[in-house]
Amino acid sequence: MKAAIENLPVSAAQLKVETGSTGVSYVSGLLAAFGGTWTKNEILAAGGLIFVAATYFTSLYFQRRRDRREQEFHMLRVRAQLAEQESNEKTP
């Protein structure tokens, strides 16, 4: 009976359990290494820097969009003024 069990192919569930436990061990190892080398203040400082960078780039993105809209609006206003001047010049 033992020989028959040893000859069975590995099931998909068994592979998932093995890869899941491997993944958990890798993640826990990385967390332990990260937590062991950085203090709480360093972790918070790094998180703050990431937050500041994300805020800056988000603001930059929306500022550029606003500048583009304002530029288009300005060009439309200039064209309308030029058209109005041309029509005023044509009428005596």
Question: pLDDT tens-digit profile of 5-63?
Answer: 555 555 555 555 566 677 788 888 887 777 777 788 988 998 999 999 999 999 999 99
Structure confidence at residue 2 as a pLDDT band (50, 70, 90): low
| Gap between the Cα atoms of 17 and 34, Å rounded | 25
Residue type for position 38: W
pLDDT score of 64 more than 90: yes
Q: How far is residue 8's CA from residue 13's CA, in Å, rounded to a whole number?
A: 14
pTM above 0.75, yes or no: no
